[in-house]
Every structure is written in structure tokens, then in C-alpha cells.
Amino acid sequence: MSGSCIGCLNAEALPFDFSMAFQPIVNLTDGAVFAFEALARGPKGEGAGTLFAQLNDDNLYAFDQQCRVKAIELASNLGLMQTAAKLSINFMPRAIYEPRACIQLTLATGKRCEVSSDRLIFEFTESEVADTDKLNAIVTLYRELGFLTAVDDFGAGHSGLSLLANMPPDILKLDMELVRGIDTSDARGIMVKHLVAMAREMKIDLVCEGVETAGELAMLRDLGVELAQGYYLCRPAFEHLPRTDEIRWRP
């Protein structure tokens, strides 16, 4: 192991069990799955809130580490590498003590499960950006290792455009509040239209989250959005990678 920290020594100290559901991020041009996002669930499919209620400073690191392991192991067992899709895993920057030491378990799991680094995306939410120097070190290392990075819930936090200027990710996921009712909101339509153009010029993949109606999906397609995610397309599937025929990618 390269480096060590107290958190790494306690990576398996998690007092509760959990599993994963997978929700596809869909390419609207052909219905292909761009990536499956791994979402933590209780062992019987219970909502993530039942898990988050049990987190504290003592087990936060273990949970972050074991989410990565569970997501990679389960997706691999379900046939991820027999598809062209990537696997997107949420992580908590505050649960990382020393980036190079804390990534070792992830690297070992990927190697064991034959999931290559270029198939992994690591998401962090804009609202979690507190220590920008630490986050920059994490993102820089992840890119060196071949991972992609994504900013989740963009538009819901405080850092906004300054984050894109100082630390542009590979993928930008727009917060669902910018998508909700976009087919009846001129303001939302204008904002998303220009965010699509900006992302394209910056060579960032843009994903619109939280698509729940045919009208929203139709408007996003009209605005040139290529990647989308939401209940209208496909709900999270517990311990299952949704097939193409389970995805509704046209309005």
C-alpha cells in the first residue's frame, strides 16, 4: 500500500449491511447506457436514508470505502464488463484522509473484479466542496489513475461556475431542480440551453438528472441534451443492471 492513515486501517469496520441499486444514465441519441450509477440501499432494498441515519464520524470512512467495493463487485458479477457502460460511484471527499492511500482498496477491488479504471466514474456533489485544495488533489490523482470525475447536483450548491473554472470535471450532472418542469419554464429552458453549449465547448459531458415526464424529456432532446437520467427513463433497479429494453428513452 502506498501511504497509510488511521481510516485505512479501519476500512472494514462497518456496523450494518447494505447493497446497491443501479440506475442508468442514458444516451438519448440511441438509447444506449452511458453508465450505471450505483446507489446505496439497505440489504432488502430499503431506501438510502435508512443507511445515512446510521452514519457518524466513526464509520463514515468505512462506508465510503465499502460502497466502492460493493458497487464494483456487484456490477462485475451482474455483467458490467460485458456491456459498453461505465460504473458511476458516489464518494464523499470529507471521508478521504490521504488520497493516494485511500484509493488502494478501490484499485485492488477493480483489479480483482477485472473492472478497468477507465470504466469507473467518481461523483461528488457540488454542495460538498468545502476544502478545494483537498478536492483538487483527489481529482488530480483520480485522473492520473484513469478514472473519470463527475460533479453531481450542479446548480444546487454554492460554488457554481467557479468550480468549473478552477476544477472542470469530465462530467457535469445538472441538479433536478433545473430539469423539473423545464417544458413549461422559459427560464429553465434558457439556462439549460446555455449550459449545454458551455459544456460542449469545454468538452464536458453533461447529464440532466431527475427526468420524470415525457414533456421534460422531449424538451431536453430539443435543447440538444445527449445524456439523461431519471424515473421516466428507468427507476433504480435493486441488485440488477437494467437492460436496454427496460429503458424508455423516447418521449
Query: What is the per-residue pLDDT for 132?
Result: 78
Q: What is the pLDDT of residue 60?
A: 87
> Which of 103, 93, 100 has its CA nearest to residue 11?
103
Question: At a CB cut-off of 8 Å and minimum separation 6, what does 222 contact?
Answer: none
Domain boundaries, the chain: 6-237
What are the CB-based long-range contacts (under 8 Å, 24+) for 136-141?
Answer: 136/166, 136/167, 137/99, 138/93, 138/96, 138/99, 139/167, 139/169, 141/99, 141/100, 141/103
What residues of the chain score a pLDDT lower than 50? Answer: 1-4
Q: Determine contact, residues 84/31, Cβ cutoff 8 Å.
A: no
Residues in the chain: 251
**26 in Cβ contact with 232 (< 8 Å):** no
Task: Please identify, in words, the CATH class of the domain defined by 6-237.
Answer: alpha beta
Between CA 202 and CA 216 the distance in angstroms is 25
Question: What pLDDT, on a 0 to 100 scale, did the predictor assign at position 229?
Answer: 98
